[in-house]
Amino acid sequence: MTAISDFIDSSATDNVKKAIAAAKENESIHALLSLTEERALERATLVDKGEITGRLAGVPFVAKDNFMTLGGTTTAASHFLEQFEAPLQATVIERLEAEGAICIGKTNLDAFAHGGSTENSAFGPTLNSADPTRVAGGSSGGSAVATALGIVPFAIGTDTGGSIRQPASFNGVVGVKPTYGTVSRYGVVAMASSTDTIGCFATTAHDAELVMDIMAGRDDRDMTTLPDFFAPAEAPTALKVGVIKEFMTDDVDAGVRQQVATYVESLKAAGHIVEEVSMSMLKYALAMYYIIVPAEISSNLSRYDGVRYGRRAEAGNLSELYGKSRDEGFMAENKRRIMIGSYVLSSGYFDAYYLQAQKARTLLINEFNELFKTYDVLVGPVAPTPAFKLGENTADPVKMYLADIMTVPASLAGLPAISVPAGTTDEGLPVGVQLIGQRRDDAKLLALAASQEEAA
Ligand code: GLN
């Protein structure tokens, strides 16, 4: 793995060439869908000439292929957008570029970010960086793996229900899902607007902090963004830490529990006060998520109609054009969510499902708020198992959804949550610890993670 500092003060052209060579060497892992080699080398030349400077001058990175970028396609790993060339760049890409960072390519994901394994990609799965017979995690699997393989020192992704945290944990890198509204979503393919967030992968908490510091802040083109509150924090001392009891039961893989318990011990050793906490609403979080998120998906994905942009099917009339374009452009999981979403929003079922789920969501948020009156940070695993085998959950969508049980609560509540590497299971599979904080405590979580890294 590499760190951002490995790329600072060296030739940007060499950095880009090195990253592209590493991407090509690892082609069989399928972390990347495309390289933006030409544009990257052009920008590297400008950095080397001193025409572009900044905190990330000459540092290569990759972006999940649902961020609009210039210099190639933005596919969202779907047939719908297979040929789509974005007319502009996402705000975060612009912000990273303004600091001299260089995007060298676009990474694989579950199509439209629907999934937790990257197996829903229209272009085939990404393989796990520690064991190629296992999934990368998802939906930002490609970004996690590209970071873990050391192709780039950091990568960006989206997290709607765990899509940064879970692949980070499956590949042993740091993954950050910020407070809802921290980072602009302008120019990013929308999934579920009430939980979509933009974050990053890095190999250290310190690097992740730098990237978040650059990306965070108000954007007039995304009215959901908060004024910039992100400021790198000092290592916190004597925090009150709550370990979530419901996430440490016998249903959770023993290797995962063991590694999380070891991390918790290290928090105690560092002088933090650790207690067990319980949350009665957690058992409903997955049900809420898989009602609310498909509802928002069905609305957001209605823009793909075969008329405006993206795939356009051969058709004899308008209704056939809509139907066939959507049939050809979407994967089975996209269609499943559109159907579930349309169903829960339909007049006969709205009260029974969507409204109930939103009420339950408020109770979950209240429960978190109550705990944060006493605790600074909540801790648990990121996922109930380490990376599972390719194909293991593909036949059963509900089994696949169960893998999200520990990540969706923070998403529904809009809380910052990060995944921190916590060693491996006996089989050598990476395990991640999840640190969840109160809204706007993003930098505190990263500072805590950084101080634990140093202690280790
Ligand atoms: N695995 C979750 C889902 O399928 C999360 C996806 C995401 O965060 N984009 O919805």
Structure confidence by residue, pLDDT tens digits, 160-207:
999 999 999 999 999 999 999 999 999 999 999 999 999 999 999 999
Distance CA 340, CA 454 (A): 46
CA 194 to chain centre: 15
* Percent above pLDDT 90 for the chain: 99
pLDDT tens-place string over residues 135-153: 999 999 999 999 999 999 9
pTM for the model stands at 0.98
**pLDDT at residue 456, as a whole number:** 86
50 is written with which tokens?
Answer: 């001193």
Q: pLDDT at residue 56 above 90? A: yes
Query: Active-site residue among 139, 184, 411, 419?
Result: 139
Is 451 among the residues known to form the active site?
A: no
Q: Give the full edge-to-edge strand order of the sheet including 377-381.
A: 32-35, 102-107, 60-64, 154-159, 197-202, 174-177, 417-424, 430-437, 377-381, 240-244, 273-277
pLDDT score, position 382: 98
Mean pLDDT for 219-227 is: 98
Q: Measure 235 CA to ligand 1 centroid, in angstroms.
A: 31
Phi, psi at residue 174, to the nearest 5°?
-80, 135
Catalytic residue among 78, 121, 163, 419: 163
Nearest to 335 by CA among 3, 31, 112, 160: 112
400 has a pLDDT exceeding 90: yes
DSSP category for residue 226: P
Ligand 1 pocket test, candidate residues 114, 120, 289, 385, most atoms within 8 A of CB: 114
Kindly state the average pLDDT of the residues 433-456: 97
Residue corresponding to tokens 């502009």: 88
**Phi/psi at 106 (5° precision):** -115, 135
Instruction: Calculate the average pLDDT of the chain.
Output: 98
Residue of 67, 185, 404, 412 to test ligand 1 pocket, by largest number of atoms within 8 Å of CB: 404
Return d(Cα 437, Cα 404) in angstroms, integer: 18
Residue nearest to atom 1 of ligand 1 (CA): 116
> Which atom of ligand 1 lies nearest, measured to the CA of 160?
8
394 CA → ligand 1 middle, Å: 14
404 within ligand 1 shell (Cβ under 6 A):
yes
317 alpha carbon – ligand 1 mean position (Å): 35
Contact 205, 199 (CB under 8 A): no
pLDDT category of residue 346 using cuts at 50, 70 and 90: very high
Query: HSE-up of 67 (CA within 13 Å, CB side)?
Result: 35
Expressed in percent and rounded to 5, the helix, strand and coil fractions of the chain are 40, 15, 45
In ligand 1, the atom with minimum distance to the C-alpha of 115 is 4
Catalytic residue selected from 18, 64, 106, 444: 64
Average pLDDT over residues 324-349: 97
DSSP string, 331-384: -HHHHHHHHHHHHHHSTTTIIIIIIHHHHHHHHHHHHHHHHHTT-SEEEEESSS
Q: What's the rounded Cα separation, in Å, for the pair 29 and 20?
A: 14
Return the structure tokens found at 342.
């349309």
Confidence band of 1 (pLDDT split at 50, 70, 90): confident
Strands 154-159 and 60-64: parallel
- Give the burial class of 113: count Cβ atoms within 10 A of its Cβ; 0-12 exposed, 13-18 middle, 19 or more buried: buried
